[in-house]
Chain A
Amino acid sequence: MPDELVRAESVTKVFRTRAGEVRAVDDVSLTVHRGETLGLVGESGSGKSTVARLMMGLQPCTSGRVVFDGNDLGQLPARELRVLRPRMQMVFQNPYGSLLPHFSAIGNVMEPLRLHERGDKASRRTRALELLDLVGINTHNAELYPRQFSGGQQQRIAIARALALEPDLLVCDEPTSSLDVSIQAQILELFTDLRNRLGLSMLFISHNLAVVERLADRVAVMNKGQVVEESPTETLFRAPQDPYTRQLLSAVLPVRAE
């Protein structure tokens, strides 16, 4: 059994709205092991992003618990949670929204290091430049502002920023869906490379099943708040068991002639 990094145990999340209760996540159990990428796919509104927020401890569970590296996030005192936080980072669909517009590219990557008092200013600069280089941003452009970069470059900077504190877990919520296929392919190669080089563990959410197939070791499928199927990637795509998974896979539209 590989080493487990984060585990959701029967987590449920109920939102109370004026229209009544929404059971966004209903008794979901998932585990991400060290060095592993878990893909999460499913219907729009099925609860994927909510699961991600619960696993990051960004929202409390209505019931159930999330255990990160042996710590129950719901039981942890605020101070200890603050120490744990930087070990989990998130990358979102809209890169511009996750960057600080008034900070340069390098400033964006240095900021989390400053907030967590890592090193001195000079070493933070060096580290940030290394990270920008790692994600394929030309360091000559390090002083430019986010709006001066293309969408794909902004996503690279957002990834560098998420990696600054050397997280154990990277949660990616639709990180390539606002990007062109050409840029998506570049970012995919970057994730593959980062995973191989840094041994990152990832929870990777996407509507694009081809992207998930390439990147994930295992895939969980959600429908109406529940995980309906979870298998190694190869098995899931070759022999889907659940009717919803089959429906999802049969709706994929091929680009090349079959």
Chain B
Amino acid sequence: MNDEALLSVRDLRTTFGSSLTAVDGVSFDVRRGQALAIVGESGSGKSVTMRSVMGILPRTARITGGQAYFGGRDLLAIGDKELRKIRGREIAMVFQSAMEAMNPTLTLERQLTEHLIWHGLCNKAEARKRAVRALGDVGIPDPEKRIRTYPFQLSGGMRQRAMIAMAMVTEPDLLIADEPTTAVDVTVQRQILDLLKGLKDRGTGVIMITHDLGVARYFCDDAVVMYAGRVVERAPMASLLDDPRHPYTVGLLGSSVEVGGRELALRPIPGSPPDLSRRPVGCAFHPRCPRAELPRCQTEQEILTIGPDRDAACWKVTVDA
């Protein structure tokens, strides 16, 4: 375990039913005041990883191995009662869909002040003041008035911002954000990221799940790339994007379009990610990989150290001299 880490996840394994291993031996660290990007196509296990750490998996899921150290405790071992004290206060979450995180029958005021009051952080009047301020901070016009409304009375983009306000209001040590800016335009996106940067500067560690590599580059310090439930590459953020090594990471970059890149040919990854109940043997990427060589790629790939602070699970990657 890395002692400067705020959160250290080791060999996490989560299964659904008897045959689907959604997360298969995942490890990573999040440092205080830093952001870790988790990237990878849908179905690669990003959300299940986060839900495992937070103890909010669906009933059909089982954690079958691993540890998640946070402030000296193993979150996977402490039980639901302890976890509930940590969630919403020390660890906050922003979900992919705002509707999932908000209670449609409660006003924003109730939802924003709930954690503050429940955790005994302040009294009702103070909680309200902080909630109004948080709404204003995320760019919701007229927060005094808006705090009395219900989620459905806001546009999609506003709901997303309100949820972020909700997560920020307790100044958590760790913030987990799952695709926080997909529903908003780029100016609002930038505004939200800058707010989250402020939180980071005050010491909050952030895990940002995103498929927007521009967002990852702007906001995150380190990155892990997931494919079919496993980490395939880990590197400092800029190194990953400027010099991707794992063929899957190379594919993700080749699929990313950018303003000003109209003339650049797209090199999309062919096909789609595997069904995890029928995971390809060895390197799960081999059916789509342009560099695959059989049978070598059908054997398990070790995680290799390929440079300072970076590793990858592919025998063909370039290793720093």
* Cβ-defined partner of B218 (8 Å) among A183, A248, A253: A253
Among B241, B258, B267, find the residue whose CB has the most chain A CB atoms closer than 10 A. B258
User: CB-CB < 8 A to A178: which residues of B?
Assistant: 182
- CB contacts under 8 Å to B, within A214-258, are 214, 233, 237, 247-249, 251-257
How large, as a class, is the contact surface on chain A? 35 or more
Find A45's partner among B157, B212, B262, B268 (CB 8 Å cutoff): B157
Complex CA–CA separation, A196 to B157 (angstroms): 34
Q: Which of A150, A247, A252, A257 contacts B241 (CB 8 A)?
A: A257
* A257 with B238, Cβ < 8 A, contacts A44-B184, A210-B259, A210-B261 known: yes
0/1 string, A54-66, CB within 8 A of B gives 1? 0000000000000
A182 within 8 Å of B (CB atoms): yes
Alpha-carbon separation in the docked complex, A247 to B187 (Å): 7
Residues of A close to B217: CB separation below 8 A: 253-255
Nearest-CB distance from A17 to chain B (Å)?
A: 9
B215 within 8 A of A: yes
CB neighbours (8 Å) of A251 from chain B are 186-187, 189-190
Q: Give the CA-CA distance A55 to B229 in the complex, in Å.
A: 44
Task: Give bound CA distance, A202 to B235, whole Å.
Answer: 41
Residues of B within 8 A of A (CB-CB), count? 45
Q: List the one stretch of A25-33, A78-86, A161-169, A185-193 in contact with chain B.
A: A185-193
> In the bound complex, what is the Cα–Cα distance between A182 and B273 (angstroms)?
10
Give complex CA distance A17, B251 in Å: 47
Q: How far is the CA of A253 from the CA of B251 in the complex (A)?
A: 19
Q: Roughly how many angstroms separate A130 CA and B273 CA in the complex, as a whole number? A: 25
Interface residues in B26-46 (C-beta closer than 8 Å to A): 41-43
> In the complex the two chains form, is B185's CB within 8 Å of A207's CB?
yes
Collect the chain A residues with CB atoms within 8 Å of residue B83's CB: none
**Residue B1 interfacial (CB < 8 Å):** no
Is A4 in the interface zone, CB < 8 Å from B?
A: no
- Residue among B156, B183, B185 with max Cβ neighbours from chain A (10 Å): B185
Interface residues of B in 149-170 (CB under 8 A from A): 153, 155-158
Whether A181 sits at the interface, judged by CB under 8 Å, is yes
- Bound complex: CA of A13 vs CA of B273, how far in Å? 43
In the bound assembly, the distance between CA atoms of A192 and B63 in angstroms comes to: 44
Return the contact of B214 from the options A42, A185, A252 (Cβ within 8 A): A252
Cα–Cα distance between A33 and B104 once the two chains are bound (Å) = 43
Within 8 A of A (CB), among B232-263: 238, 241-242, 251-262
Residues of A within 8 A of B (CB): 19, 42-45, 150-153, 177-178, 180-186, 188-189, 207-211, 213-214, 233, 237, 247-249, 251-257
Binding site for A on B (CB under 8 A): 41-43, 153, 155-158, 182-190, 211-215, 217-218, 238, 241-242, 251-262, 266-269, 272-273
| Cβ contacts A to B, 29 pairs, < 8 Å | A19-B153, A43-B188, A44-B155, A44-B156, A45-B155, A45-B158, A150-B43, A153-B272, A180-B41, A180-B255, A181-B212, A182-B255, A183-B272, A185-B256, A185-B266, A185-B267, A188-B266, A207-B185, A210-B258, A237-B259, A248-B185, A248-B186, A251-B189, A252-B214, A253-B212, A253-B218, A254-B259, A255-B217, A255-B258
- Listed from nearest, the 8 A-B pairs whose CB atoms lie closest are A253-B214, A185-B268, A44-B157, A185-B255, A210-B257, A251-B186, A251-B190, A255-B213
